[in-house]
Structure 1
Amino acid sequence: MNTIPVYFMPGLAASSSIFERILLPELQFKMIFLEWEIPLETESLSDYAKRISAKITLENPVLIGVSFGGILVQEIAKWIPVRKVIIISSVKSNLEFPLRMKIAKTTKAYKLIPLHLILNIENLAKFSFGKKVNKRLRLYEKFLSVRDIRYLDWAVEQVILWDREVVDPNVIHIHGDLDDVFPIKNISNCMVVKGGTHIMILNKYKWLNENVPKIILEQHA
């Protein structure tokens, strides 16, 4: 039996080591990990997605993205044929953003974020994973590998200015009911993981390992 290629895209500033607890059955799935690259000067999210899509060499893949990686895999799916797109702790359109992000877009307040301060690991962890990370800061430090100011500046802007308003009905959305970055109250049509926070890829991995293979193999009616 041919294995199904599954490409994983981590969240903002994170490396693919964030998926170290995710294990899919090797006889059925081939797991491939994508990494963030430094964006080119004035590169749009769409062009960036096209550039990353060139690294996806296996046909008809499943794309799985976490947080900002979830936004990116939806953009990649515009460029290549995919079997499924699964997003975790992410959003399907800018209508699911929390109010503070909508205000940041309208006021351009995101341009005032002193991004050089985010390079401090504690701030970067809070920014990428949510507020409840202090207790395990050393653990999270190893996952946050992209500390290039140009990348962070670009990434924050691409999230805030993401222009998708029409949801792709084929996107499968897995979301925690305790996510403090993208609160569940703003999210519609998702599979809810009880007790899942914005970093549930790390602490709800048992649920994901049990359910993601089934979700991939499920046939759409």
Structure 2
Amino acid sequence: MSKIPVYMMPGLAASTAIFERIQLPEDEFEIHLLEWEIPLDNESLKEYARRITKKITHSNPVLIGVSFGGILIQEMAQFIKVRKVIIISSVKSNLEFPRRFKLAKTTKAYKLIPMSLILNIENLAKFSFGETINKRLKLYEKFLSVRDIRYLNWAVEQVILWDRTVVDESVIHIHGDADDVFPIKYIKDCIVVKGGAHIMILNKYKWLNEHLPALIKG
């Protein structure tokens, strides 16, 4: 029996290290990690999605994306046939954005948004690693690997200006009820993980390891 190819896309500026605790049965699944690339000049999200899609070498794969990676894989799914699209700590359309995102769009204030709002270093730092600066920096280096300012400005703009309003009903959405980037009160039709924050890919990995196989095959 051939294994199911599963491609995983991390969140905004994040490295593939965020998936290091995700383990799927090796006799059934084959995990492939996708990485962020620096956008080309004036590259749209759709164009970028098409370019990243070329990294996929298997037919009918499963796409799993976290946060902005979840937005990206929904765009990627327009260019290839996929078995499943699973988003974690993300949104299915811009209707699920919190008010501050919508305000940022209308006022163009997203150009002033501090990266910390999206990257949320403080939350990462608090996640079972203590509060020392040294540990915080090591954590930052490990999980947030893309520091190219052109990428960061592009990525924030692509999130804020994402124009999808019609939800793809086939998307499986896993969301924590303590997510502070995309609050649960704005999210519809999702599988709720109790106590899951925006970084639950790191600290709710046991839940994900337990439930992902059935969600993929179901």
Answer whether TM exceeds 0.5 for this pair: yes
Equivalents in 2 of 1:217, 1:129: separation in Å?
33
Report deviation, 1:111: 1.5
- Asked if the contact 1:130–1:198 (Cα under 8 Å) also holds between the matched residues in 2, the reply is no
Stretches of structure 2 lacking an aligned partner (at least 5 in a row): 130-135
Equivalents in 2 of 1:19, 1:129: separation in Å?
17
Equivalents in 2 of 1:6, 1:162: separation in Å?
25
Report deviation, 1:178: 0.2
Equivalents in 2 of 1:109, 1:66: separation in Å?
24
Aligned twin of 2:159: 159
Deviations along 1:63-105, one digit per CA (max 9) or x if unpaired, are: 0000000000000000000000000000000000000000000
- Asked if the contact 1:63–1:84 (Cα under 8 Å) also holds between the matched residues in 2, the reply is yes
- The two structures, once aligned, show a CA RMSD in angstroms of 1.3
Report deviation, 1:141: 3.2
Residue identity matched to 1:144: L
Stretches of structure 1 lacking an aligned partner (at least 5 in a row): none
Equivalents in 2 of 1:133, 1:215: separation in Å?
27
SS in 2 for 1:105: helix
Equivalents in 1 of 2:105, 2:195: separation in Å?
29
Deviations along 1:19-78, one digit per CA (max 9) or x if unpaired, are: 000000011000000000000000000000000000001000000000000000000000
Aligned twin of 1:127: 118
- Asked if the contact 2:125–2:139 (Cα under 8 Å) also holds between the matched residues in 1, the reply is no
Deviations along 1:147-183, one digit per CA (max 9) or x if unpaired, are: 0000001000000000000000000000000000000
Equivalents in 2 of 1:17, 1:134: separation in Å?
15
Deviates more, 1:11-20 or 1:132-141: 132-141
SS in 2 for 1:213: helix
Equivalents in 2 of 1:49, 1:168: separation in Å?
16
Aligned twin of 1:203: 203
Residue identity matched to 1:197: A
TM-score by length of 1: 0.91
Equivalents in 1 of 2:71, 2:2: separation in Å?
28
Residue identity matched to 2:43: E
Aligned twin of 1:188: 188
SS in 2 for 1:132: helix
TM-score by length of 2: 0.93
Aligned residues: 209
- Asked if the contact 1:110–1:156 (Cα under 8 Å) also holds between the matched residues in 2, the reply is yes
Aligned twin of 1:144: 144
Report deviation, 1:10: 0.1
Aligned twin of 2:17: 17
Report deviation, 1:130: 6.6
Report deviation, 1:131: 4.9
Equivalents in 2 of 1:127, 1:112: separation in Å?
12
Report deviation, 1:128: 1.7
- Asked if the contact 1:130–1:181 (Cα under 8 Å) also holds between the matched residues in 2, the reply is no
- Asked if the contact 1:178–1:197 (Cα under 8 Å) also holds between the matched residues in 2, the reply is yes
Aligned twin of 1:178: 178
SS in 1 for 2:173: strand
Deviates more, 1:152-161 or 1:104-113: 104-113
Residue identity matched to 1:189: D
SS in 2 for 1:133: helix
Aligned twin of 1:27: 27
Aligned twin of 1:40: 40
Equivalents in 1 of 2:28, 2:120: separation in Å?
30
- Asked if the contact 1:131–1:180 (Cα under 8 Å) also holds between the matched residues in 2, the reply is no
Q: Kindly, what percent of the aligned residue pairs are identical? A: 72
